[in-house]
Amino acid sequence: MVGLFLSAYIIALQSIGHNLKNMKRTVFFVSDSTGITAETLGNALLSQFEDIDYYKVTLPFIGSQDEAAEVVQQINDISMNATERPVVFSTLSDPGLYEVIRGSTALVLDLFSVFLGPLGREFKLNPSHGRGLYHGLADRAHYEVRIDAVDFALSHDDGASIHHYERADLILVGVSRSGKTPTSIYLAMQFGIRTANYPLTSDDLDLCRLPEFLEPYLERLYGLTIEPQRLRQVRQTRRPNSPYTSLSRCRKEVNVVEQLFKQQRIPFLDTSFISIEEIASRIMRDSGLKRRFF
């Protein structure tokens, strides 16, 4: 399976005209589970070296000596055909499997063992070396909470339903295309926060006031705003050249909505140049909400 996948990867590289000799670095994320942990820390580390082009490959669910040996074989093949050897970020929790990978010609960084030592001494316990507990069964306990929050976010997306706002932990408000939908879903999925979102429309903005049914929930409102230029760009990809995308309209909507947020003392955040992760993390911090699972 792994072999098949990697062969396909090499063929894909060749077919799109990549020349391995020209590629700066191939980076592998090798894991006995999903590979999310290896990707997350690996990418954060790589972002500290800005001038390098990376080609990234995730190899999840590596669970046996045979699979590990196959990974090594393929790493070495790529190493031989590249000017620079690959870099491997490993979160294999079985030391035996890690030893196999370490036998490759790549620079292999084990993201686990270096910390398990100090933690084990601190806790006076030995690590279980169990495979991917975190992303596996341990999450089950939170499954219901998470699904409930996602269901809530979907059924209360974009003002679709304004019922049951009393069940909402948070209600995002802002102009159309200010980032409410992806933020709501991310908050539900990652933190289990039941998030509704409501688009403030021309009618609301012309009157410069909140719709009446939002008033009982003032404490749960959080505003998203966005620079007019950026808003125009986002709307343009959605509905090119409609009045909705004109800079003057974007500017007017944003002005009024920010005025409304200030008037009503609704905390708000400019989403123009930050990622969904950062928007969500800032809202969690500012609102003092506690995640429903960890």
- Chain residues 165-194 in contact with a second copy, contact rule CB under 8 A: 181-182, 185-186, 189
The residue within the footprint of a second copy, chosen from 14, 65, 66, 139 (CB under 8 A), is 139
Residue 246 CB neighbour total at 10 angstroms: 14
Asked whether position 237 contacts a second copy by CB under 8 A, the answer is yes
Any idea what the Cα angle at residue 203 is, between residues 201 and 206, rounded to 5°? 105
Asked whether position 56 contacts a second copy by CB under 8 A, the answer is yes
From residue 89 to residue 108, what is the string marking binding to a second copy with x (rule CB under 8 A)?
A: --x-x-------------x-
Q: Which stretch binds a second copy (CB under 8 A): 34-42, 68-76, 94-102, 250-258?
A: 34-42
Q: Which stretch binds a second copy (CB under 8 A): 198-206, 207-215, 254-262, 282-290?
A: 282-290
Least distance CB 73 / a second copy (angstroms)? 18
Cβ within 8 Å of residue 68, ≥6 positions away? 62, 92, 97, 100, 101
The residue within the footprint of a second copy, chosen from 135, 209, 251, 252 (CB under 8 A), is 135
Least distance CB 208 / a second copy (angstroms)? 28
- Burial 15-35, CB ≥16 within 10 A → b, else e: eeeeebeebebbbbbbbbbbb
Cβ within 8 Å of residue 117, ≥6 positions away? none
Asked whether position 122 contacts a second copy by CB under 8 A, the answer is yes
Asked whether position 294 contacts a second copy by CB under 8 A, the answer is yes
The answer for 92, left when phi > 0, alpha when psi is -120 to 50, beta otherwise, is beta
